[in-house]
Amino acid sequence: MLHRRLKLLRVLVALAIFAGLTAALVDFRGALPPRVGHWLASAQFVPSLVALVTGASVALGAVLIAVATLAAGRMYCSAICPLGILQDIIARIATWWPGRKPPRRRYAPPVNWLRQSVLVATVAGVVAGWAGFTLAVLDPYSGFGRIASALFRPLLMLANNAIVGPANALGLTELYRVEPHWAAAGVLSASAFLLVLLAVLVVWRGRLYCNTLCPVGTLLGWLARNAAFRLEIDQGACTKCAECLRICKAQCIELRNGAIDFSRCVACYDCIGACDHGGISYRWKWRRRKLAAVSAPVAPVPSGAVQDPARRAFIAGAATALAASLGASARLRAGPPAPDRDRPGLDDAHRAGTGNDRRVICPPGSGSIDRFLDRCTACQLCVSACPTHVLQPTWTAYGLDGLMKPRMDYTTSFCNYECRVCGEACPSGAIMLLDLAEKQVTQIGEAIFEKEKCIVVVKGTDCAACSEHCPTKAVYTIPYGDNLHLPTVNRELCIGCGGCEYACPALPAKAITVSSRREHGRAKKPVEQKAAPPPAGDFPF
Q: In CATH, what number is assigned to the domain containing residue 362?
A: 3.30.70.20
What is the per-residue pLDDT for 257? 87
Instruction: Tell me if 146 sits within 8 A of 187, measured CB to CB.
Output: yes
* Cβ-contact 91, 271 below 8 angstroms: no
- Domain membership flag for residue 429: yes
CB 522 within 8 A of CB 339: yes
Helix (H) or strand (E) holding 229: strand 229-233
Kindly state whether residues 323 and 402 are assigned to the same domain.
no
* Rounded Cα–Cα distance for residues 499 and 414 (Å): 5
Does a structural domain hold residue 29?
Answer: yes
Q: Where are the alpha helices (DSSP H) in 226-308?
A: 243-247, 270-274, 286-295
Same domain, 323 and 377: no
Whether 355 and 504 share a structural domain: yes
Q: In this structure, is residue 269 part of a structural domain?
A: no
CA-CA distance, 88 to 105, in Å (whole number)?
15
Look at residues 298, 327, 356 and tell me which one is the last residue of a structural domain: 327
Q: Are residues 322 and 409 in the same domain?
A: no
Inter-axis angle of helices 45-53 and 131-138, nearest 10:
160
Q: Which domain holds residue 448?
A: 344-522
Q: CA of 530: how far to CAs of 6, 470, 508, 527, in Å?
A: 66, 19, 39, 9
Alpha carbons 292 and 278: distance in angstroms, whole number: 23
For the entire predicted model, the pTM comes to 0.85
pLDDT at 304: 41
DSSP 10-39: HHHHHHHHHHHHHHHHH-SS--S-HHHHHH
Instruction: List all residues 6 or more positions away from 24 whose beta carbon is below 8 Å from its beta carbon.
Output: 32, 34, 36, 37, 40, 41, 381, 384, 385, 425
Which residue among 327, 356, 383 closes a domain? 327
Choosing from 327, 361, 396, the residue where a domain stops is 327
Q: Are strands 484-489 and 512-522 parallel, antiparallel or unpaired?
A: unpaired
Per-residue pLDDT of the chain (541 residues; tens, 9 = 90+): 556 688 899 999 999 999 999 999 999 988 899 999 999 999 999 999 999 988 877 678 999 999 999 999 999 999 999 999 999 999 999 988 876 666 667 899 999 999 999 999 999 998 888 888 898 999 999 999 999 999 999 999 999 999 999 998 888 888 889 988 889 899 999 999 999 999 999 999 999 999 999 999 999 999 999 999 999 998 888 888 888 888 899 999 998 888 999 999 999 999 988 888 888 989 998 875 444 444 444 444 444 444 444 445 444 545 454 544 444 444 444 444 444 434 434 434 333 333 445 779 999 999 999 999 999 999 999 999 999 999 999 998 998 889 999 999 999 999 999 999 999 999 999 999 999 999 999 999 999 999 999 999 999 999 999 999 999 999 999 999 888 999 999 999 999 999 999 999 999 999 999 999 999 999 998 776 555 565 555 544 4
Is there a single domain that holds both residue 93 and residue 200?
yes
Maximum CA extent, the chain: 107
Residues 41 and 163 in one domain: yes
One-letter amino acid at 171 equals G
Residue 277 within a domain: no
Distance, CA of 177 to chain centre: 27
What residue type is assigned to position 311 of the chain? R
Backbone angles phi, psi at 517, to 5 degrees: -105, 125
Residue 392 parent element (H or E): strand 391-393
Number of domains in the chain: 2
The answer to whether the bond into 102 is cis (omega within 30° of 0) is no
Question: In terms of domains, do 416 and 382 share one?
Answer: yes
HSE-CB at 162 with a 13 A cutoff on CA atoms is 6
Cα–Cα separations (whole angstroms), residue 494 to 441, 445, 446: 8, 8, 6
Report the distance separating Cα 440 and Cα 474, nearest Å: 12
Please give the DSSP secondary-structure letter assigned to residue 498: S
**Which pLDDT value is given to residue 240?**
87
Give CA–CA dist 256/233, Å, rounded.
11
Name the residue type at position 129.
G
What are the phi and psi torsion angles at 236 (to 5°)?
-75, -35
Rg (CA), the chain: 28
